[in-house]
Amino acid sequence: MCRTVCGILVFFLLGGLLFAQQPEDVAYQFLKNLVNQDFESAIGMCNDVVKQRLTPEALNGIWSSLIDQMGKFIRVLSFNSGEQSGYTIVVFVSEFERSKLSIVVSVDKDGKVGGLFFQNAPATSYQLPSYVDSERVRKEEVTVGEGKWKLPGELVIPEGTGPFPCVVLIHGSGPNDMDETVGPNKIFKDIAYGLASRGIAVLRYHKRTYVYASEIDPLKITVEDEVIEDALSAVAFLRKRKDIGAVFILWHSLGAMLAPEIAERSDADGIIMLAAPARPLEELMIDQLRYLRSQGMPVEESQIETLLNLKNNELSPETFVLGAPASYYYDLRKRIPIDLVKKIDKPVLLIHGGRDYQVTRKDYDIWKSELEGMENVKLLLFEDLNHLMIAGHGFSYPMEYLRVGHVDQRVIEIIVDWIVSQL
């Protein structure tokens, strides 16, 4: 199964997290110990009161009984936390083989686990953001591309007769669905319905590596196959519709590195780049590893050394690096987005988050320095946004992506205003 470059967006999402200053991460590490059946370590994380009442053997019995009832633990779907009586109460909505369950872990002010409880998981599903007026939009199932690689998609259209300006949403790294789902969050669905309820149609579709993962040879995959061909097909599809006017392309993360090339090769009217890297992918991943290590996460030096070897062209093309062959990185590196943006005369909007530890302020500063004075380019930085364009506070960290959130309304409104100004 092809898992091409899962790294940049969710590479560490379920990795060995331990940020000691965050009660939520203490709770998550405790849960990881349960899942890994490391009950000695789990009890070692507890306060003295729990240690007096609960042995590793007893905890083993509790967890084993739960697994007998629920089946194998699959994953954490989402989490939330709050303060109660001096404890941080962390609730992990988790998926098991047979059902879903909320695992509740309490952490005291000293960073020690003070309790473990289980309760029925809430019957919740994705909710549209409050800034969406669903009565002002309609949706249509569509197909992007033809032949072997045709992809299911959805076109969300404002109520009315049109023609409407339209945005094509292009994914970041990894085999993403049309919503670009990360944990409980659906970044592209937020954007699609947020824009459509403000008069702008949006096309999104499943990524080729999501639909045809088992049919793609990971040693032969290129960004042309993975992303570019389907993006060009999406623009061509919209050009045939009478209810669609100007077409803009919106890219997130890795996809944003390819936006200028697609704009140059298609007749798109403009490009929007969210969390756009200004440097090669391997450089971003090296910085990401070093950031996580600086925050207390155990990172193997060999991972950094492998990426440094990749950066220095010292790996054979077939060598796999974090889910993709080195040839993929070498192919991607040939594309220099800054140079292409300088060449095209189409309008460009770039939005970055100040809390993004994956595509960092370093990238924003490079874009700003290189594109300064270009009248067709608008560059914005929101200090409180993370890589998913979701607002927060303090240091950003991987488990944050499991907290329910939505693309910030400011991002939606900036995109709308910018598109309208181009018409």
Res 65: pLDDT: 87
Q: Is the peptide bond before 163 cis (omega within 30 degrees of 0)?
A: yes
> Is 387 labeled as catalytic in the residue annotation?
yes
Question: pLDDT band at 140, cuts 50/70/90?
Answer: very high
Is 2 inside any structural domain?
no
- Stretch 78-104: mean pLDDT: 89
Domain boundary among 120, 146, 161: 120
What burial class does residue 217 get, using C-beta atoms within 10 Å of its C-beta: 0-12 exposed, 13-18 middle, 19+ buried? exposed
Does the pLDDT value for residue 24 go beyond 90?
no
What value, to the nearest 5°, has the Cα angle with vertex 234 and ends 232 and 153?
145
Unique residue bearing structure tokens 């909007």? 349
- CA nearest 75: which of 94, 99, 101? 94
Residue ending a domain, choose from 98, 120, 142: 120
Same domain, 106 and 144: no
Same domain, 218 and 159: yes
pLDDT for residue 2 = 37
Helix H or strand E encompassing 308: helix 301-311
Torsion on CA atoms 50, 89, 382, 171, rounded to nearest 10: 90
Does residue 127 form part of some domain? no
If phi over 0 gives left and psi between -120 and 50 gives alpha, with beta otherwise, what is residue 24?
Answer: alpha
Beta bridge mates, 270? 248
CB 250 within 8 A of CB 188: no
Cα–Cα distance measured from residue 151 to residue 147, given in angstroms and rounded to the nearest whole number: 10
> What is the rounded CA–CA span in Å between residue 117 and residue 287?
37
Whether residues 311 and 414 fall in one domain: yes
- Cis bond upstream, residue 347 (ω within 30): no
pLDDT tens-digit map of 52-62: 989 999 999 99
> Could you tell me if 184 and 318 lie in one domain?
yes
Please report the sign of the dihedral spanned by the C-alpha atoms of residue 144, residue 148, residue 149, residue 152: positive
Q: Exposed/middle/buried for 56, CB within 10 Å: 0-12, 13-18, 19+? A: middle
**Confidence bin at 412 (pLDDT 50/70/90):** very high
- Select the more confidently predicted residue: 168 or 15: 168
- Quick one: 58 and 143 in the same domain? no
Structural domains counted in the chain = 2
Q: What pLDDT score does 39 carry?
A: 95
What angle do helix axes 409-422 and 187-196 make, rounded to 10 degrees? 50
Task: Decide if 129 is inside a domain.
Answer: no
Q: Given 120, 147, 168, which residue is the final one in a domain? A: 120
Residue with the bigger pLDDT between 95 and 192: it is 192
- In the set 356, 396, 406, 408, the catalytic residue is 356
Residues above pLDDT 90, as percent of the chain: 55
For position 13, what pLDDT does the model report? 33
Q: For residue 71, which amino acid is it?
A: G
Tally DSSP H helices, then E strands, for the chain: 16, 16
Query: Considering 106, 197, 253, 327, which one is annotated as catalytic?
Result: 253
Buried b (16+ CB within 10 A) or exposed e, 290-310: ebbeebebebeeeeeebbeeb
State the Rg of the chain over Cα.
23
- Quick one: tokens of 291? 């950031």
Q: How do residues 157-197 score in pLDDT, each as one tens digit?
A: 999 988 999 999 998 777 889 999 888 899 999 999 999 99
350 close to 380: Cβ distance less than 8 angstroms: yes
User: In whole angstroms, what is the distance from residue 352 CA to residue 273 CA?
Assistant: 9
Q: What is the pLDDT of residues 330-368, one digit of tens each?
A: 988 888 888 888 888 899 999 999 999 999 999 999 999
Mean local confidence (pLDDT), 43-67: 92
Residue by residue, what is the 3-state secondary structure of 87-130? EEEEEEEEEECCCEEEEEEEECCCCCEEEEEEEECCCCCCCCCC
* Region of poorest pLDDT, from 103-112, 312-321, 393-402: 393-402
Q: Is the pLDDT at 202 greater than 70, yes or no?
A: yes
For residue 9, what pLDDT is reported?
33
Report if residue 126 sits inside a domain: no
Q: Are residues 210 and 322 in the same domain?
A: yes
- Which CATH number do you get for residue 70? 3.10.450.590
Query: Tell me, what's the pLDDT at 370?
Result: 95
344 within domain boundaries: yes
Q: Is residue 1 part of a domain?
A: no
Residues 114 and 146 reside in one and the same domain: no
- Owning domain of residue 263: 134-422
Residue reference for tokens 């796999």: 320
- Grouping H, G, I as helix, E, B as strand and the rest as coil, residue 302 is helix
Q: Is the pLDDT of residue 153 over 80?
A: yes
Q: What is the pLDDT of residue 122?
A: 78
- Are both 39 and 153 inside the same structural domain? no
Average pLDDT over residues 74-80: 88
Q: What tokens were used for 314? A: 């010292």
Tell me, yes or no, if 316 is annotated catalytic. Answer: no
Helix or strand or coil: residue 140?
strand
d(CA 346, CA 262): 12
Instruction: Write down the pLDDT at residue 203.
Output: 98
Asked, for residue 297, whether it belongs to a domain, the answer is yes
Whether residue 218 sits in one domain with residue 162: yes
Residue 128 domain flag: no
Specify whether the CB–CB gap between 123 and 62 falls below 8 A. no
Coil, strand or helix at 22: coil
Residues 83 and 215 in one domain: no
How many whole angstroms separate alpha carbon 418 and alpha carbon 246? Answer: 13
CATH number at residue 181: 3.40.50.1820
Tell me what pLDDT residue 264 has: 81
Residue of 280, 195, 248, 215 lying closest to 5 (CA atoms):
280
The larger pLDDT score, comparing residue 259 to residue 82, is at 82
In the predicted structure, residue 17 carries a pLDDT above the cut 80: no
Task: Quote the tokens at residue 295.
Answer: 């925050």
How far apart are the C-alpha atoms of 210 and 174, rounded to whole Å?
A: 8
| Same-domain pairing of 171 and 110 | no
Mean pLDDT, the chain, integer: 88
**Binning pLDDT at 50, 70 and 90, where does residue 323 land?**
confident
Lowest mean per-residue pLDDT among 113-117, 118-122, 232-236, 274-278: 118-122
| Residue 3: pLDDT band with limits 50, 70, 90 | very low
Q: 292 and 172 share a domain? A: yes
Catalytic-residue membership of 356: yes
The residue among 187, 168, 184 whose CA lies nearest residue 412 is 187
pLDDT above 70 as % of the chain: 95
CA quadruple 300, 301, 304, 308: dihedral sign: negative
